Structure 1
Amino acid sequence: MSKIATLLYVFLNMVLFFFISIFYYLSLNASYPSVINVPKGSIEVIITHFKKNNLDINNFDKFILRILGSPQSGWIEIKPTNIINNTTSKGSFLYQLTTSKAALKDLTLIPGETMYFFIENISSTFGLNKQELIDAYNEFTKYPDGVIYPNTYKIPIGIGPRYLMSYLINQSMKEHKKNAIKILGRYDEKQWFNYITIASIVQKEAANIQEMPIVAAVIYNRLKAKMPLQMDGSLNYGEFSHSKITPERIRKDKSVYNTYLNRGIPPYPVGSASIDAIIATIRPANVDYLYFVRNKSGSHSFSKNYKEHLNNIN
């Protein structure tokens, strides 16, 4: 065999080995979530994002993706190629990244609602286990409420509890940070969630957006005067979000949220707070009111002293 023929033989064997290796690599199975959120950006950005989320993907996959095409941003549905053990081949996974889209449903958290009822909504809308949702939520945040930003989210059908909560909390914390920098010029998590806690009470107490800065001012004025807040809205936490606050409930509720029994603000938000309530909390009205009571029009009558307050009640 001539030297040229020998070199050609070696080259062809190398090419054959290369393609066999690629086909073998693409046939390897791994477990992937049924839906994946693909960020906007280059293939490098996407690969880095997947690595941070512990997906089975590596730098060699960049080469494969450059051949197949860039992944579509947004939610991608990943269908298993092996139904028995619910795994997907590497080749199928990379191909689905560039071709698939997941079916989406709207998920809305309204301002003032608590995680208790929001989780119930998630459970019924997506058929997910309520306790698994609670466990997933607690895994990703230390705050019992007020973390998930009130908004409408596009959520894929088939998403798991852990991935869903990770996504909602991650997106919300980005929103919190963005708003803090926009309003305050900086982001200090402890300071910000102190504002969120007050804003969550403002959200439940104010009859409308126009009242929010005045209600916030009443809270600060009462704190400054060393008075208990004595606000019903603080007792509309968790499962009591829609409950009417009665004298009996005020006496029996021994939680940290009872601002009739405990001075100061609660240690955590009592529900979600809108951007309007947050801004009102950061920029309260310049008034010296200490009391307010709901009037016949459905809004509130504010007063500076207890005598005026009694007159408003009467």
Structure 2
Amino acid sequence: MQHRHYVETVDRTLRDICDCEKPFRGITIVLGGNFRQILPVITKGVREQIMNASLRHSVLWKDLHVLSLDLNMRLNHANLGNVFFAKFLTEVETDPQEIIKIQSTIHKCQDLKELLSAVYPQLDVANISTPSFLTERTILCARNDDVNAINIAALNIFPRNTYTYLAADKMAEDDEIDPSITNRYPNEFLNSLDPFGLLAFKVELKVGCPIMLLRNIAPKDGLCNGTRLMVSRCNTHIIEARILTGEKFGNLAFIPRISLTPSSTEMPFRMTRRQFPVGLAYALTINKSQGQSVKFVGVDLRTPVFSHGQLYVALSRCTSFNRISILLLNDEPDSTTNIVYPEVLL
């Protein structure tokens, strides 16, 4: 997903420091990735802009030697069903057809309630929420709105007290102009805004629910953007949670509120929001799930995928074909949209 400019910047830096015109100053550089997966994200970008941001269109590409890995290591190939599923994934990742038929052996759900039950069975039992239970399950969606809706639905089923945390919003420029000035816009208006890069105004949690960190807090302690945790205590000024992923698995973490000012230029003013940098993690976006292997996966495709490689990434997160559950549109119960840019494939 990295923009080619990142790699080119490293190359130019090494050439300048060492006064050498060889690529990367002659140092052997290993780049890992798969062009069948999601390409660099360009905000409101069209196909040509996304392709131009890919490493395939870099001036360095001609100097790279490509080594291909062809065996799907997530799947157990001793299972005949997984062998056919691996072939199906190959079709998904390379077939430029806009509509693709979902393999008949994959479990298809009728509604959201069935999807939740398939991925999170007995969610209405309080003591079912354990670290092992949460780490091996996830539901994937193409858009953030769908992720939020599923997270709220799952939280409502989970039987414990709800803790609600509201953010504190203010105009970022007010202190610079005159500290005595209050917000020039009503608080209700600021609270209703949800620009890119800003935390949610309202966060609802329950003890035992999974959450994900949305900002880097303490990387050395395993508290990075994308880290999954399980809430163990909800206090007024701090959230106590147990880390579920990475080398710090099982460690206890204390998450404070932080203040953020988004760099978005969509608004004619700058605002600051103070809130806990966490979100519910029963469901994730497909983009956020890249690189993960999960035992039980649900995929909500009622809103079809919209970029290259998303469908392949969603279906390939699971370690076995018989543990995938898919929710499709009612008028298309056996097929879904697939987007592939053949020009980027090796």
Higher helix proportion = 1
Higher strand proportion = 2
Q: Which has the larger radius of gyration?
A: 1
* Same fold at TM > 0.5: no
The structure, 1 or 2, with the larger RCO (C-alpha pairs under 8 Å, 6+ apart) is 2
TM class by smaller structure:
under 0.3
Q: Under a length normalisation based on structure 1, what TM-score does the superposition of the two structures give? A: 0.21
Q: Under a length normalisation based on structure 2, what TM-score does the superposition of the two structures give? A: 0.19
